[in-house]
Structure 1
Amino acid sequence: MRATDHVTDSAKLDIIAATQAEDNEWRRVAVSRCFAFPSKEMFEYAAQASLGDDVFYDEPNTATLEAHMARLFGKEAAMFVASGTMSNQLATRTHLKQPPYSILCDYRAHIYVCEAGGLAYHTGAQVIPVIPSNGRYLTLEDIQNFIVLDEDIHFCSTEVIELENTLNGSIFPQDEIIRISEYARQRGIKLHLDGARIWHVAIETGMPLDVLAEPFDSISACFSKGLGAPIGSCLMGSKEFIARARRFRKGFGGGMRQTGFLAACAAFALTHNFPKLSAVHDLARKLERGLLELGVEITVSAETCMVFYDPSSVGINYAEVAERAGKLPKPLSLLGSRLVVHMQTSEEAIADFLGVIRSLAEEKKSAGFVRPVGKAGNSSYKDMYAPMK
């Protein structure tokens, strides 16, 4: 026995359970009732991926993916990163160079609400959150009302406008984006798109991805969530922009080595999962119709893959729904007002969820609940965002 054996023995770890194969199969069944997981076929494809070092720009599959994404979105260059949050944070950090400055965005934007205060932490930027006057998406007039352009020393000049498409599953009209882009470019202001679910926009509208991306200086697009890859997003922009972003990615601790496996998962998702999103949208609309038939209020309609609902219209609260759904023979994972349908969501899961709502509503009605006239919803700001990323 070597003198160092006790040191190496203490480090040994076998994380593969004896029942791992069976456990994974169970997870693949469970995914039809919650969030998207990588499929067995995706893993089998990714197992053939190249070996290299992405930090030193020597990972063939990752380089191929980045070049493909740049072409797909009509940009000069792209960079693979771990998450949509990292992609957004790197984009803003790269665009912003010398404070003081501000970023203007929708008050519901993921970059503002759900990224752990990253804008303040990473860039020191002041955020100008704007409530859309139409209740759906920012217009040029909304931006003109709140943007800071003056040289007045009392104010913090806006250097980046950030938009999101989709936002809560709703599509941002391209003609309005173009109006905002023209205004921003005339004033030297950068325009970034959080396109985590831009794939849904392309499928629903039929617009090519490079057309959707053209008005923006930078764009982030995710491979996880709707496309079902285990991890990863891409940030696209000019060559100069991406070169600068790579330096920040390293500083953020985001440089990954053997990323070939992850790049292969992303490529599989683009090839096999992207085309499935049309059926996802159809299923989301079926879910919405089922809720309406039960008398449930819809607060955000199913334009793509999301439905926001308010069960208080039938006397129910979100906690009751989550508790009852979690006790089904095949439990459903639910949080707040946001219902997300993905390519692995089953018809059975939709039917079971509607069954939970129906049963609870009948119980409330039997107990004497009467829907009040002019009822105010019980969904809160936090309810809306609880299930995100």
Structure 2
Amino acid sequence: MIPRPWSYNLLKLKLPSAIEHYRPRFFHSHQVIMSQPNGTPSMDLNAARLNLFKSVQLDVITPTQAADNEASRKRISRTFTSDTLTVPTPEMQAYAIQASIGDDVYDDSTTKALEASIARLTGKEAAIFMPSGTMSNQIGLRTHLKQPPYSVLCDHRAHIYKYEAGGTAFHSGAQVIPVIPRNRHHLTLDDVKDHVILGTDFHYAPTDVIELENTLNGTIIPQSDIIEISTFAHSKGIAMHLDGARIWHVAAETGLPIDELCAPFDSVSLCFSKGLGAPVGSILVGTSAFIAQARRFRKLFGGGMRQIGPLAASAAYAVTNHIKLLPGVHALTRRLEKGLEEIGCEITSRAETCMVFFDATPVGVSLDEIISRAEALPNPIQLLGSRLVVHIQTSQEAVEDLLTVIRTLAEEKRAAGFVKLEKKEEDGVYVYKDVYVRKGRNL
């Protein structure tokens, strides 16, 4: 006689009356999804599935989507908020749809081709695609930082310090040392030597990484200064990381090859969406060993992605076709700067690439007045603050219209009796003025 399973014998035991009473309820949900003896689903299951399928009928494309997209393109051409607002062109979208459909966590041919191409372009051994510039920077830093305590030295305006939600402290447990450059433009070797933490004094967190950003607020760090800082850093065993989100602008303005711009750094983060018009994505480059470890951190940070071939293809299209447009962007930015100066505005940070920072209070006009008047135009202009960003989809008409708004406001103030105050210089005293003032704060 074959012994029956213990569970069968257990079920033969008499259950207490209370449990016996509720027994049908215990097994009800199981019975609903049981199949009929012939293997077909029960009527209850068919009904449940039908309700489920009805509930997931999603239509996120509106009937007017094509017209809405065209309106968005026109709006972006009159927006000076950021170059992250650039959008894919129809040509980019047509190219992207031809991409591979592999899995980037394992193997996607289009993404691998992009990574190999950018590695060659930057003169590095390997690269890894990232969903954002913030993740690319943060994983770059985390990969360099081995054993705390440690610190990261950077410009006080750096994205990793001001605009990445405290990520360097949160993800890497690193102290950030923000430095104000004495020349009011960019960090030099003297600035670094004044603030770098060396030695074995256990009161301090040694500097393990020096991070530079090029461009920074649209300005270019001279390559000679970068090389000096890098030579010093490497002599002290300190890694160099570049936030090169807009390094394309540096290359377009100076004519220097991208691999030469990246050579002094152990790792570089480059962005495809800022100014180049790709929908999303950045890339981190470095040695093969560095990128292998960064790939592990990307998984840990939740940045591993699946079928991203179309994103990688969009990035490749942007680099190939849109870098050549950047000199025109720089010329249009300088036109905007010249117009602001002619009106009487103060230029608080000069137009070296795609940004100009200004202060209209010398002509009696507040930032909020400019924003309100620009938004009230029949064809509105959008700006967020004192930083004006020109990009590959900014129209010449938008630049002239914005200058007209500011000029008209200045003339109204002058007609109302505004008199410009003479500015007194304080010799030998440098009080940093934040050139980036946003809506809601007076300049």
Q: TM-score of the superposition, structure 1-length normalised?
A: 0.96
Q: Who is 2:95 aligned against?
A: 45
Identity %: 59
The answer on 1:281 being equivalent to 2:335 is: no
1:193 to 242, 266, 280: 242
Whichever residue aligns with residue 322 of structure 1, its letter is I
Residues 161 and 190 of structure 1 are in contact (CA less than 8 Å); yes or no, is this contact kept in structure 2? yes
Equivalent residue of 1:152, what SS?
Answer: coil
Deviation at 1:336, TM superposition (A): 1.1
Moved over 6 A (4+): 375-379
Q: For 1:112 and 1:82, locate their aligned partners in 2 and report how far apart those are by CA, in whole Å.
A: 20
Q: Who is 1:15 aligned against?
A: 60
Equivalent residue of 1:257, what SS?
Answer: coil
Whichever residue aligns with residue 37 of structure 1, its letter is V
Q: Which has the larger radius of gyration?
A: 2
Equivalent residue of 1:103, what SS?
Answer: strand
Q: For 1:378 and 1:124, locate their aligned partners in 2 and report how far apart those are by CA, in whole Å.
A: 28
Whichever residue aligns with residue 77 of structure 2, its letter is S
Q: Who is 1:304 aligned against?
A: 353
Q: For 1:384 and 1:84, locate their aligned partners in 2 and report how far apart those are by CA, in whole Å.
A: 22
- Within 5 Å, give how 1:178-189 maps onto structure 2: 178-189=227-238
Deviation at 1:11, TM superposition (A): 2.3
- Within 5 Å, give how 1:318-333 maps onto structure 2: 318-333=367-382
Q: Who is 2:200 aligned against?
A: 151
Which deviates more from structure 2 when the two are superposed, residues 22-31 or residues 156-165? Answer: 22-31
Q: Who is 1:55 aligned against?
A: 105
Deviation at 1:225, TM superposition (A): 1.6
Q: For 2:423 and 2:194, locate their aligned partners in 1 and report how far apart those are by CA, in whole Å.
A: 32
2:183 to 134, 137, 154: 134
Residues 349 and 435 of structure 2 are in contact (CA less than 8 Å); yes or no, is this contact kept in structure 1? no
The answer on 1:24 being equivalent to 2:69 is: yes
Whichever residue aligns with residue 250 of structure 1, its letter is K
Q: For 1:317 and 1:375, locate their aligned partners in 2 and report how far apart those are by CA, in whole Å.
A: 21
* Gaps in structure 2 of 5+ consecutive residues: 1-45, 80-84, 426-430
Deviation at 1:89, TM superposition (A): 0.5
Deviation at 1:139, TM superposition (A): 0.5
Whichever residue aligns with residue 190 of structure 1, its letter is A
Q: For 2:326 and 2:297, locate their aligned partners in 1 and report how far apart those are by CA, in whole Å.
A: 33
Residues 358 and 435 of structure 2 are in contact (CA less than 8 Å); yes or no, is this contact kept in structure 1? no
Equivalenced residue count is 385
- Within 5 Å, give how 1:1-389 maps onto structure 2: 2-34=47-79, 35-56=85-106, 58-374=107-423, 380=434, 383=437
Deviation at 1:382, TM superposition (A): 5.8
Residues 219 and 235 of structure 1 are in contact (CA less than 8 Å); yes or no, is this contact kept in structure 2? yes
Deviation per CA, 1:183-231: give whole Å up to 9, x if none: 0111110000000100000011110000000000000010002111110
Residues 276 and 323 of structure 2 are in contact (CA less than 8 Å); yes or no, is this contact kept in structure 1? yes
What is the CA RMSD across the aligned residues, in angstroms?
A: 1.7
Q: TM-score of the superposition, structure 2-length normalised?
A: 0.85
Residues 318 and 335 of structure 1 are in contact (CA less than 8 Å); yes or no, is this contact kept in structure 2? no
Which deviates more from structure 2 when the two are superposed, residues 102-111 or residues 371-380? Answer: 371-380
CA separation of 1:79 and 1:378: change in aligned 2, threshold 3 A: closer
CA separation of 1:164 and 1:384: change in aligned 2, threshold 3 A: farther
Deviation per CA, 1:38-58: give whole Å up to 9, x if none: 1121111111111010011x1
Which deviates more from structure 2 when the two are superposed, residues 353-362 or residues 65-74? Answer: 353-362
Residues 313 and 375 of structure 1 are in contact (CA less than 8 Å); yes or no, is this contact kept in structure 2? no
Whichever residue aligns with residue 92 of structure 1, its letter is L
CA separation of 1:108 and 1:378: change in aligned 2, threshold 3 A: closer
